[in-house]
């Protein structure tokens, strides 16, 4: 466990360099993007003088290096700047939107994990049966179906036709059901396929046969001997999926009018709101790094043989 702690400290220190790299990249990418933030902000009817004044207000007329330094020193003191579009602090903008995305990603991951592992285990245990084929086909559909299309179909069925669930927004407790299920479709499919493959490999091992031979009940064999040993690659897929959900929920958030951070990012890119885009990307990067550290620890918990 000592080695693990050292590993985590090392990872976190290295991640500072990663974050610095991310900050440089996003800063430069925004500045080579065509489109003048001051013009977008000033509106189509603004005069050249107004645009020039806004450019000066935003500090966009200063040299790149000095702009970057201001951004970086701001970040170090916990100040991500102010949104050009709404004049609100970037940290407030993110604080309002991030929880909605996190909740959606967590719920979708829980659904995806439970459903995916269950389906994967069943498919592996009853391999080549009808059940297995049905699960595989459904999983194939889940992986290939565009989120956008699935979301609209679910809205049509559950909100318009049946009238059971809210079509959009996050104002009611049941609001999360449709976006979470939509978002979970892909993860469920992916996790079930990974579980099936990984389980099949493990179930063929000698120790599983031994366990069966000494008379352990089938559930014990499957879960204790099978799933636990098959779990490392599944966990990797789950964590990667969770990361993807954090950043990739934009379409789902748009279809369901879910007030998450993905939509804010897209709106901000469209408005060339540099400070907000930089802030969100940094938060994403930090979240990914944190997620990796957590998963590293979980590996050790699940498989004590793993040492760092």
For residues 15 and 290, give the distance between their C-alpha atoms in angstroms, rounded to a whole number: 9
Asked if 304 touches another protein (CB under 8 A), the answer is no
Evaluate whether 71 touches 27 at the Cβ level (below 8 Å).
yes
Residue with tokens 């509106």: 43
Q: Binder to another protein among 26, 30, 42, 235 (CB under 8 A)?
A: 42
Asked if 97 touches another protein (CB under 8 A), the answer is yes
Backbone region of residue 257 per phi and psi (left: phi > 0; alpha: psi in -120 to 50; beta: other values)? left
Provide the minimum distance between the beta carbon of 263 and another protein in the complex, in angstroms, as a whole number.
6
Asked if 272 touches another protein (CB under 8 A), the answer is yes
Q: Binder to another protein among 8, 60, 72, 106 (CB under 8 A)?
A: 106
Evaluate whether 105 touches 246 at the Cβ level (below 8 Å).
yes
If the CB atoms of residues 106 and 197 are measured against another protein, the closer one turns out to be 106
- Of 41, 146, 109, 93, the C-alpha closest to 261 is 93
Q: Binder to another protein among 259, 291, 293, 306 (CB under 8 A)?
A: 259
Q: Binder to another protein among 39, 291, 300, 308 (CB under 8 A)?
A: 39
**Contacting another protein within 167-186 (CB under 8 A):** 167-176
Evaluate whether 137 touches 145 at the Cβ level (below 8 Å).
no
Asked if 159 touches another protein (CB under 8 A), the answer is yes
For residues 141 and 76, give the distance between their C-alpha atoms in angstroms, rounded to a whole number: 46
Q: Binder to another protein among 77, 204, 219, 305 (CB under 8 A)?
A: 219
Provide the minimum distance between the beta carbon of 64 and another protein in the complex, in angstroms, as a whole number.
18
Residues 6 or more apart whose CB falls under 8 angstroms from that of 6 comprise 308
112-151 footprint of another protein as x/- string (CB under 8 A): ----------------------------------------
3-state secondary structure of 241: helix
Q: Which helix (H) or strand (E) holds 246?
A: helix 228-248
- From first CA to last CA, the distance across the chain in angstroms is 9
- Residues within the interface to another protein (CB under 8 A): 33-37, 39-48, 50-51, 53-54, 57, 85-88, 93, 96-97, 99-100, 103, 106-107, 110, 152, 155-156, 159-160, 163, 166-176, 211, 216-217, 219-220, 223-224, 254-260, 263-264, 267, 270-272
């Amino acid at each position: 466990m000592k080695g693990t702690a050292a590993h985590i400290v090392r990872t976190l220190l290295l991640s500072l360099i990663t974050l610095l790299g991310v900050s440089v990249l996003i800063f430069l990418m925004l500045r080579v993007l065509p489109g003048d933030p001051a013009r977008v902000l000033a509106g189509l009817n603004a005069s050249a003088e107004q645009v020039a004044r806004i450019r000066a207000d935003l500090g966009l007329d200063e040299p790149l290096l000095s702009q970057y330094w201001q951004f970086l020193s701001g970040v170090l003191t916990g100040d991500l700047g102010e949104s050009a579009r709404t004049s609100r602090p970037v940290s407030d903008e993110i604080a309002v939107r991030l929880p909605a995305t996190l909740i959606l990603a967590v719920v979708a991951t829980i659904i995806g994990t439970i459903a995916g592992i269950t389906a994967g285990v069943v498919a592996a245990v009853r391999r080549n049966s009808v059940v297995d084929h049905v699960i595989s086909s459904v999983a194939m559909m889940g992986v290939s179906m565009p989120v956008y299309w699935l979301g609209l179909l679910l809205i049509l069925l559950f909100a318009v036709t049946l009238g059971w669930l809210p079509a959009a927004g996050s104002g009611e407790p049941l609001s999360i059901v449709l976006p979470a299920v939509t978002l979970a479709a892909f993860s469920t499919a992916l996790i079930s396929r990974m579980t099936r493959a990984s389980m099949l490999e493990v179930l063929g091992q000698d120790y599983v046969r031994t366990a069966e031979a000494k008379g352990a009940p089938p559930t014990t064999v499957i879960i204790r001997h099978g799933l636990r040993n098959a779990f490392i690659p599944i966990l990797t897929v789950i964590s990667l999926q969770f990361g993807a959900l954090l950043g990739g929920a934009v379409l789902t958030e748009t279809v369901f009018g879910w007030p998450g951070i993905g939509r804010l990012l897209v709106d901000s890119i469209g408005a060339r709101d540099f400070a907000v885009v930089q802030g969100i990307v940094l938060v994403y990067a930090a979240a990914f790094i944190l997620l990796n550290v957590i998963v590293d620890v979980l590996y050790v918990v699940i498989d004590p043989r793993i040492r760092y």
